[in-house]
Chains A and B, each alone.
Chain A
Amino acid sequence: MPVSSTYLLRRLLYMIISIIGVSVFGFILFRIVPGDPVLMMVSPTASLEDIEALRHQLGFDRPLYIQYVNWFRDFLSGSFGTSIRYNTDVLELVTSRLPATLELVIVSILVAFVIGVLIGVISAVKSGSWADRILTGFSFLGFSLPHFLWGIVFIVIFGAIAHLLPVSGRIDIDFEVTPITGFILIDSLVSGNLAAFKSALAHIALPAISLALSLIAILHRTLKSSMLDVLGEDYIFTDRMKGLPERKIIFERALRNALIPTITILGVQFTFLMGGSIIIEYIFGWPGMGTLLFTAVQYKDLPLLQGIVMVYALIVVLTNFLVDLTYTIINPKIELR
């Protein structure tokens, strides 16, 4: 279904405005440092010459607008400067950590989708039953408590008390998986290393579930209400009259239509989980962009920090754009704004 071109253009324009806005914002944010940003970055023992050399290297001795123009030009060409802590290109550092973060977020979404749909269907079909009430209670818990609290709860229960699952890292250090895609689950499967795959799966379990709980709750609520709507439709009534088996009615006829509003939620939630993954990575020692961010904060590595902030923001802007587009494609009657 073609999307109206004026809408597409306007949405594209919004996205460009957002990207420019984000870049201005990211620039200003790191120039409002109280005192001298250069002093923040050097070691306390640095000589005056070292400080001035760094100031010149960062271009901080130039007028502000020139600094911004230079920064925006570099930003467009993907050059985010050099990390002070690692002395490596910022973009290189960030992209090397990106697959780990994406793997965590995507696995969380998959887990949330499977569980969320399952309990959503149960709640709708058995609406008002004890099962429904218990699930609704769990949903409220899952939605109310922040990701990091779940993370800590799981570390204590499964890690410290029961010793069931690993609580730190992506895989046991004994395994060596040659990176192909950067997604360790896929790479270990492709190279046929089942033991490594199992280890990676065990490592991702707790962080992914901690991150997934809020989304499970949201999917549960949304799917329950849309299932209840669909189950009240005439065609479901007709199906029942025709004597179709209940299982077939629920999973094939009703669920398919009820899933549409659920799927549009996933896009928005992707950006939300990207944000949540930061603290989950910290808690579980997951070597993604989130832990890199903490290193940047700890070492006051401003170029690295700025690079990471911009990459997260760009991912959010692009995702929102794609979500709006798919939304209008799925449902062309709705013109957003």
Chain B
Amino acid sequence: MSSEEFITESLFEGFKSILSIKVIFGLIVLIILFSTAILAPVISPFDPNEQRLNEAYKPPFWVKGGDKNYILGTDSLGRDIFSRLVYGARVAAVVAVVATILTAITGILVGLLSGFFGGKVDQIFMRLVDIWMSFPPVLFALALIAILGVGLKNVILAIAIIDWTRFARVVRAEVINIKEKDFILADKAVGMSNTHIIFREILPNTIPIIIILATLEMSIAITVEILLSYVGLGVKAFTPSWGSMISEGLAYFRIGWWGMLFPMLATIVVILGLNSLGDGLREKIDPRLSLMR
């Protein structure tokens, strides 16, 4: 092996290990998020909504004036920030899972039908996707919330109504690719029903791509929930969400930095983790796939 080959070889190996680091980092974040969400009542030392006004603005325990009971401090109403952070993870996780399942079901169904049947069906669905995507997502979400009202259910519903197009387009392209393959043509030749071909033969082959999309969709869903809660149009007041915690924390930033810092860090880590998982999986599974918005 020449030294040049050795260098390219080791560069390549290094590159590969970076990829797996992305995936591992993402998985760790995902596991922490979901276990926190499930175990929230066990982990959190206080009721996230319990107010103790005489204990307001307590800094984290390691800062002068901090209290060991409130490890990350308290907010303007004397609520325990750590407990709110933990319950906020629950809101984020619920939105991520439910919204992703809903968008995935609609999008995959449209993508399968559009890609498999082509022609008029495809034309109609794709025009619909075009029209849908003419509305910027944030605008769409705000308009839907204005109409539906605030609350966790409506946030999830809004995401489901808006974001199915991403799944539809990518799955459709994949189906068009798969349906020309020999084994599908053979299935058709032996007279298998369309339903069987679509759901038993084609759908399983799109699963790798669906997993990548679902990972990214979770990050988008969490972002939308946090954004809506930040502007006061997400979850109802008093439901602990990282978004509302950030905006409340900004309001008393001059008194205490901890109010906005911890939910902000949690948000950044979770979004980076999910993106890194999606990106890492994409590089491993299907490097051709471009998911740039």
- Which of chain A's residues have a CB closer than 8 A to the CB of B264? 149, 152-153
Produce 1/0 per residue, A302-326, CB < 8 A to B: 0001001100110011001000000
- Nearest CB in chain A to that of B22: its residue: A140
When chains A and B are docked, how far (Å) is the Cα of A276 from the Cα of B138? 7
Query: Is the beta-carbon distance between A272 and B134 smaller than 8 angstroms?
Result: no
Which residues of B, 247-288, contact A by the 8 Å Cβ criterion?
250, 253-254, 260, 264, 267-268, 271-272, 275-276, 279
- Which of B43-51, B109-117, B139-147, B205-213 lies on the face that meets chain A? B139-147
Query: Is the beta-carbon distance between B142 and A278 smaller than 8 angstroms?
Result: yes
Say how far B132's CB is from chain A's closest CB, in angstroms: 8
Query: Is the beta-carbon distance between A18 and B271 smaller than 8 angstroms?
Result: no
Q: Of A156, A297, A312, A320, which one neighbours B135 at CB under 8 angstroms?
A: A312
Query: Is the beta-carbon distance between A140 and B279 smaller than 8 angstroms?
Result: yes
- Which of chain B's residues have a CB closer than 8 A to the CB of A272? 136, 293
Known: A128-B11, A278-B142. A146 touches B227 (CB 8 A): yes
- Which of chain A's residues have a CB closer than 8 A to the CB of B246? 152
Q: Confirm or deny: A34 has a beta carbon within 8 angstroms of a beta carbon on chain B.
A: yes
Q: Confirm or deny: B32 has a beta carbon within 8 angstroms of a beta carbon on chain A.
A: no
Q: Confirm or deny: B128 has a beta carbon within 8 angstroms of a beta carbon on chain A.
A: yes
Produce 1/0 per residue, B136-171, CB < 8 A to A: 111100111111110000000000000000000000
Count chain B CB atoms within 10 A of each CB in A22, A148, A296 and give the residue with the most.
A148
Query: Is the beta-carbon distance between A156 and B253 smaller than 8 angstroms?
Result: yes
Q: Confirm or deny: B31 has a beta carbon within 8 angstroms of a beta carbon on chain A.
A: no
Known: A14-B127, A278-B142, A297-B146. A145 touches B135 (CB 8 A): no
Q: Of B128, B231, B268, B292, which one neighbours A282 at CB under 8 angstroms?
A: B231
Say how far A295's CB is from chain B's closest CB, in angstroms: 11
Query: Is the beta-carbon distance between B272 and A141 smaller than 8 angstroms?
Result: yes
Known: A17-B127, A312-B136. A32 touches B147 (CB 8 A): yes
Query: Is the beta-carbon distance between B138 and A271 smaller than 8 angstroms?
Result: no
Query: Is the beta-carbon distance between B292 and A218 smaller than 8 angstroms?
Result: yes
Query: Is the beta-carbon distance between A279 and B138 smaller than 8 angstroms?
Result: yes
- Nearest CB in chain A to that of B7: its residue: A128
Q: Confirm or deny: B223 has a beta carbon within 8 angstroms of a beta carbon on chain A.
A: yes
Query: Is the beta-carbon distance between A18 and B134 smaller than 8 angstroms?
Result: yes
Query: Is the beta-carbon distance between B143 and A29 smaller than 8 angstroms?
Result: yes
When chains A and B are docked, how far (Å) is the Cα of A29 from the Cα of B142? 12
Query: Is the beta-carbon distance between B138 and A297 smaller than 8 angstroms?
Result: no
When chains A and B are docked, how far (Å) is the Cα of A30 from the Cα of B135? 14
Known: A18-B131, A34-B148. A278 touches B138 (CB 8 A): yes
Main secondary structure of the interface of B (DSSP, over half): helix
Say how far A127's CB is from chain B's closest CB, in angstroms: 10
Query: Is the beta-carbon distance between B139 and A275 smaller than 8 angstroms?
Result: yes
When chains A and B are docked, how far (Å) is the Cα of A128 from the Cα of B18? 13
When chains A and B are docked, how far (Å) is the Cα of A115 from the Cα of B130? 31
Contacts between the two chains (Cβ within 8 Å), count: 108
- Which of chain B's residues have a CB closer than 8 A to the CB of A140? 275-276, 279
Q: Confirm or deny: B34 has a beta carbon within 8 angstroms of a beta carbon on chain A.
A: no
Q: Confirm or deny: B233 has a beta carbon within 8 angstroms of a beta carbon on chain A.
A: yes
- Which of chain B's residues have a CB closer than 8 A to the CB of A72? none
When chains A and B are docked, how far (Å) is the Cα of A156 from the Cα of B219? 23
When chains A and B are docked, how far (Å) is the Cα of A316 from the Cα of B137? 12
Q: Of B133, B145, B268, B293, which one neighbours A297 at CB under 8 angstroms?
A: B145
When chains A and B are docked, how far (Å) is the Cα of A32 from the Cα of B144? 10
Q: Confirm or deny: A257 has a beta carbon within 8 angstroms of a beta carbon on chain B.
A: no
- Which of chain A's residues have a CB closer than 8 A to the CB of B135? 22, 25, 309, 312-313, 316
Query: Is the beta-carbon distance between B147 and A149 smaller than 8 angstroms?
Result: no
Query: Is the beta-carbon distance between A21 and B145 smaller than 8 angstroms?
Result: no
Q: Of A25, A271, A293, which one neighbours B142 at CB under 8 angstroms?
A: A293
Q: Confirm or deny: A160 has a beta carbon within 8 angstroms of a beta carbon on chain B.
A: yes
Say how far A199's CB is from chain B's closest CB, in angstroms: 24
When chains A and B are docked, how far (Å) is the Cα of A22 from the Cα of B134? 8
Query: Is the beta-carbon distance between B143 and A305 smaller than 8 angstroms?
Result: yes
Known: A32-B147, A34-B148, A316-B134. A144 touches B276 (CB 8 A): yes
- Which of chain B's residues have a CB closer than 8 A to the CB of A320? 134
When chains A and B are docked, how far (Å) is the Cα of A100 from the Cα of B230? 23
Which residues of B, 215-261, contact A by the 8 Å Cβ criterion?
219, 223, 227, 230-231, 233, 246, 250, 253-254, 260
- Which of chain A's residues have a CB closer than 8 A to the CB of B276? 140, 144
Query: Is the beta-carbon distance between A149 and B267 smaller than 8 angstroms?
Result: yes
**B residues lining the A interface (CB < 8 Å):** 11, 127-128, 130-139, 142-149, 219, 223, 227, 230-231, 233, 246, 250, 253-254, 260, 264, 267-268, 271-272, 275-276, 279, 292-293
**A residues lining the B interface (CB < 8 Å):** 14, 17-18, 21-22, 25, 29-30, 32-34, 128, 140-141, 143-146, 148-149, 152-153, 155-156, 160, 218, 271-272, 274-276, 278-279, 282, 293-294, 296-297, 300, 305, 308-309, 312-313, 316-317, 320
Given contacts A141-B272, A294-B142, A312-B135, 5 further A-B contacts (CB under 8 A): A14-B130, A21-B128, A25-B135, A145-B271, A316-B133
Closest 4 A/B residue pairs (Cβ): A275-B136, A21-B131, A144-B275, A297-B146
